[in-house]
Amino acid sequence: MKRNKTWIVLLMLALSAVLVIAGCGNASTSKTANTESAAEQTETAAGTDKDAQASTDTDKEETEATSGASEISYTPLDQLQDQYDIIVIGGGGAGMTAALEAKAAGMNPVIFEKMPTAGGNTLKSSSGMNASETKFQKEQGIEDSNDKFYEETLKGGHDTNDKEMLRYFVDNSAGAIDWLDAHGITLDNLTITGGMSEKRTHRPTDGSAVGQYLVAGLVKNVQEQEIPLFVNANVKEITQENDTVSGVKVTFNGTDDKNISAKAVIVATGGFGANKEMIKEVRPDLDGYVTTNQEGSTGDGIKMIEALGGTTVDMDQIQVHPTVQQENSYLIGEAVRGEGAILVNADGQRFVNEMDTRDNVTAAITKLDGRAAYLIFDSGVKSRAKAVEQYEKMGFVKTGDSIEALADEMNLPAEQLQTTLGAWNEAVKNKKDADFNRETGMDNDLSAGPYYAIKIGPGIHYTMGGVKINTDTEVVTKDGKAIPGLFAAGEVTGGLHGQNRIGGNSVAEIVIFGREAGVKASEFAKANQ
Ligand code: ADP
C-alpha cells in the first residue's frame, strides 16, 4: 500500500495474532502475508512544553512483532444484508469500539471499512491511552485526579479545547480502561507523556506500542461477537429520509454499489491527514508535506457529514511531526532525541533545541534548504532507543566508524560536524547548552562510535479538527442542532484537543467517544424502531 509497505506488514502481524486466537467467527475471505519483523513506526505523543519534553525518553516504547505467515479473514460479501440496526463507517479503533457497544445494547451493527484491512491509523499509535483515577493507577500508588487531567490537557491545548467534551472525556477515562480490561485488553503499564504531570498513559503490560495490541484485541472481540466487518467497503454517501439518517451508499471492491439501510449511522472514518487537497485547502503552508497517515485517512466522513449540514471545528489545526523519513513517510520517534541525538543542518551545525515542542522544531527545520535535517547520534543512543534497529532494517540509518567517516557518508562537512559534536559533548558535560538552551535528553554525550545519521524532515501526523459533535456524540449543525440518527467519534471529530493534542489522548478519545457513540446510536435506534 502506498509508499509504506511496513504499514500492511504491521496490520497483518497484529491481526494474524488475533485471528489465530479468535478462530475467525465470520471468516471466509482471507489473505496471507509472509512478513519480516516490523516495529511500531508512529508515535502519538505530542510534546507540549519544555518540562514535558523530559519524558520523551520513557513515553514511547517501540515494539517488535514476530514474523510469520498469517491468515486474515473478513465477512464475505454474500453475507451482506440490506438492512442493519446500526451502520458503523470505518473499522479503526473508534468504529470497532462503537460496534461492540451497539452489539452489547442488543443491536445488530455492521462495520464498513474501505481499506483491505481494518485498523486505520489506530494501528500506528504507540504511546498509550491516557486516563485518570484508574484502578491500575491506584494499584500502583499513583495519585491522580480527573480535574488534574482536565487542567493539564486544557493547558496543553492552549485553552482552546471544547471544555464540555474535555470534561466528559476525563470523567469517563477510567471507565474506558475498565471496559477495555473487561474485553481482555489490559493496559496496566503506566508511563507519562508530554504535558502531563502524572503517570496516566496506560500501555500493554509489556510496555509495547498500544495500537497493534488494541486493534488486535478489538478485532478479536468483534469476531467473537459475530459483528459483520466488511473490508473494501467504501461508503460514499449517508442517506436521509425526512431529515433523519436512513442508511448509506457503499461501493464494494471498487465496483459493486449498494444502498444499505439502518436506523442510525456512526461515522468513525478517522482524520484527513492523507488527503493532500484537503490539507492544502485549510493549510496552504503544508502543501507538499509527506504524511505519516495510512492512505485511508482522507476525510471522507467530514465531507459526507458536511453534505448533511454538519459543521466543523479547528480544521486548520494539524499536528506536524518534525522527524519523518521523507522517502517512506516513516516517523522517527522522539525517543532518538530523548536518548541524546542532535539535529544538524546541511552545514553540519545545530540549529534548534532538539527537545523543543514539535511545532517549534518543525518551524526550524522548515526554514532549512529542502526542509531537511540530519539526526546525528552514537552507539549509546542506538542501544538505548530500541527503534533505531528497525530504522536500520528499513535502510534509513547511515553509519561511520568515525565522525569524519559519517560526514563523508552523509555528504556533510567533516570538520564542522566534528566541531559541532565537540561543542555538544562539552554542553552535556557542563549541563549547559549555551547555544540553544536544550535541557533534556542530555544524560549522555555522543562520544561512543560508531556514529549514525538519519536524514529527516517534517510530516503531517494528526488532524485535530473535524466535525462537531456534542457529548452524546450526536453530529450537530452550525446552530448546535443534532442531525437525527447521525453520530460520530474519533479522529473524524474536532474540538477535544484544541490547538495541540497531548500524546495518549487520541487513543483515549476513540475508546471513550467510540463507546458513547455505540450507546447513544443504540438508544436512538431503539426509540425509532
Ligand atoms: P479512529 O482513530 O478515529 O478510529 P482510524 O484512522 O483508526 O480512526 O480509523 C478510521 C478508519 O475508517 C480507517 O480504517 C479508514 O480506512 C476508514 N474509512 C475512512 N473513510 C472511509 C469510508 N468512506 N468508508 C469506509 N471506511 C472508511
Pairing of strands 451-463, 373-378: antiparallel
Residue 35 belongs to a domain: no
DSSP string of 239-270, one letter each residue: EEETTEEEEEEEEETTTEEEEEEEEEEEE---
Rounded to the nearest 10 degrees, the angle between the axes of helix 210-224 and helix 93-104 is 30
Ligand 1 atom showing the smallest separation from residue 92 Cα: 9
CA distances from 145 to 198, 302, 339, 509 (A): 9, 34, 30, 18
CB neighbour class for 237 (10 Å; exposed up to 12, middle 13-18, buried from 19):
middle
CB neighbour class for 69 (10 Å; exposed up to 12, middle 13-18, buried from 19):
exposed
Pairing of strands 129-130, 201-203: antiparallel
**What is the per-residue pLDDT for 360?**
85
CA distances from 73 to 192, 459, 519 (A): 36, 32, 27
Residue 332 belongs to a domain: yes
**What is the per-residue pLDDT for 72?**
54
**What is the per-residue pLDDT for 78?**
96
Of 324, 212, 296, 258, which Cα lies nearest the Cα of 83?
Answer: 258
Backbone angles phi, psi at 389, to 5 degrees: -60, -45
Residue 298 grid cell: 482522507
Task: Compute the distance from residue 113 Cα to the ligand 1 centre, in Å.
Answer: 7
Residue 145 belongs to a domain: yes
Which residues constitute the domain of residue 185? 81-316+464-529
**What is the per-residue pLDDT for 141?**
97
Same domain? For 200 and 262 the reply is yes
Q: CATH code at 449?
A: 3.90.700.10
The CA-to-CA distance between both ends of the chain, in Å, stands at 41
**Ligand 1, atom 15: closest residue by C-alpha:** 296
Q: CATH code at 249?
A: 3.50.50.60
Same domain? For 330 and 284 the reply is no
What is the C-alpha separation between 361 and 348, in angstroms, rounded?
17
Q: Which of 200, 203, 358, 438 is catalytic?
A: 358
Ligand 1 atom showing the smallest separation from residue 492 Cα: 3
Task: Compute the distance from residue 276 Cα to the ligand 1 centre, in Å.
Answer: 16
Residue 129 belongs to a domain: yes
Same domain? For 218 and 276 the reply is yes
Same domain? For 435 and 469 the reply is no
Chain segment 196-208, per-residue pLDDT in tens:
888 899 999 987 7
**What is the per-residue pLDDT for 36?**
27
* Mutate which of 101, 267, 269 for ligand 1 pocket (most atoms within 8 A of beta carbon): 269
**Ligand 1, atom 17: closest residue by C-alpha:** 90
**What is the per-residue pLDDT for 131?**
98
Residue 71 belongs to a domain: no
Residues with CB under 6 A from ligand 1: 89-95, 112-115, 120-122, 233-235, 268-270, 296-297, 300, 490-492, 510
Which residues have C-beta within 8 Å of that of residue 21, sequence separation ≥ 6?
220
Same domain? For 164 and 290 the reply is yes
What size, in residues, is the chain? 529
* Mutate which of 96, 257, 297 for ligand 1 pocket (most atoms within 8 A of beta carbon): 297
Task: Compute the distance from residue 301 Cα to the ligand 1 centre, in Å.
Answer: 8
**What is the per-residue pLDDT for 206?**
86
**What is the per-residue pLDDT for 48?**
29
The number of domains in the chain is 2
Specify the pTM. 0.83
At which of 399, 425, 460 does a domain end?
A: 460
Same domain? For 312 and 217 the reply is yes
Residue 30 belongs to a domain: no
Chain segment 99-125, per-residue pLDDT in tens:
999 999 999 999 999 999 999 999 988
Ligand 1 atom showing the smallest separation from residue 115 Cα: 16
Is residue 358 flagged as an active site residue? yes
**Ligand 1, atom 27: closest residue by C-alpha:** 90
**What is the per-residue pLDDT for 90?**
98
Residue 351 grid cell: 540549529
Of 325, 440, 452, which Cα lies nearest the Cα of 380?
Answer: 452
Place of cell 465496483: 255
Ligand 1 atom showing the smallest separation from residue 514 Cα: 4
Same domain? For 502 and 454 the reply is no
What is the C-alpha separation between 95 and 87, in angstroms, rounded?
10
What is the C-alpha separation between 516 and 282, in angstroms, rounded?
29
pLDDT profile of the chain (529 residues), mean per 10 = 38 43 36 30 32 29 28 85 98 98 98 97 89 98 97 94 98 98 96 83 87 95 97 98 97 97 98 97 94 96 98 96 93 85 97 86 94 97 86 95 97 98 98 94 95 97 97 97 98 95 92 98 95
At which of 415, 438, 460 does a domain end?
A: 460
Beta-bridge partners for 86: 109, 264
Contact call for residues 144 and 130 (beta carbons, < 8 A): no
Same domain? For 395 and 529 the reply is no
Task: Compute the distance from residue 88 Cα to the ligand 1 centre, in Å.
Answer: 10
Ligand 1 atom showing the smallest separation from residue 120 Cα: 14
CA 133 to the chain's CA centroid: 23
